[in-house]
Amino acid sequence: MKKIIYILLIAAIFASCNQGDNKAKEQMEKNKAGMQKFYDEVMNKHNPAMIDSLLVADYIAHEADPSMQTKNRDELKKMMADFFTGFPDLNYKINFMVADSDMVVAHYTFTGTNSGSMMGMPASNKKVNIDGVDIVRFKDGKGSEHWGYNDEMKMMTQLGMKMDMSSMMPDTSKNKMDDKMKKGETKMEKKK
């Protein structure tokens, strides 16, 4: 009889552990669904009004690009509206999405044509196709923090806005190097 009670006790413990795992998995799936809804309803349907229903009131953005940082949902809505004006055919395709605990990570491809003005810049009428990653922490089923990274250099190049890097590079033309060698201005010296 003691063995049966012992086996039932162990079975109950394993069942309760499994229940906790199932709840965690369910929450991660809900978080992924919330992230997908953000792409579908806000980004692809160009509807910043949906942001309030998908993000917590004290939402925080941790963007690598300072011009993309927002302090709250209202700033994010304004930034998104400006972005949608700049790219009226904007589309996000989710390449993959994973969740762990309260975090969701999505790798996306963003496409669009810059046919409207954006952030004070006139339209370039050029197409972009760039990849990026969004990392979002969820709290009570809503996004609470965001970290985002995308290939900004590729986007600037595709828009024809890339910076001329030649001014930042040292002049290595043969004549310039010969002149420096004659004057002894280089750190390398010929061995005698």
* Whether residue 186 has pLDDT greater than 80: no
* Whether residue 174 has pLDDT greater than 90: no
pLDDT for 101-145, tens place per residue? 999 999 999 999 999 988 788 999 999 999 999 999 999 999 999
pTM: 0.72
Which has more pLDDT, 1 or 144?
A: 144
- Topology given in CATH for the domain delimited by 31-164: Nuclear Transport Factor 2; Chain: A, (3.10.450)
* Whether residue 192 has pLDDT greater than 50: no
Which has more pLDDT, 152 or 91?
A: 91
In angstroms, rounded to a whole number, what is the distance separating the alpha carbons of residues 56 and 126? 35
Residue 114: other Cβ atoms inside 10 A = 24
pLDDT at position 164: 54
- Phi–psi pair at 110, nearest 5 degrees: -105, 130
Which has more pLDDT, 150 or 120?
A: 150
Residues 6 or more apart in contact with residue 148 via CB below 8 angstroms: 61, 63, 64, 68, 132, 133, 134, 135
Which has more pLDDT, 12 or 157?
A: 157
- Asked if 91 and 44 touch (Cβ cutoff 8 Å), the reply is yes
Q: Domain spans of the chain?
A: 31-164
pLDDT for 60-82, tens place per residue? 888 766 666 677 888 889 989 99
pLDDT for 10-44, tens place per residue? 655 555 555 557 888 999 999 999 999 999 999 99
Number of residues that this document lists for the chain: 192
pLDDT at position 119: 77
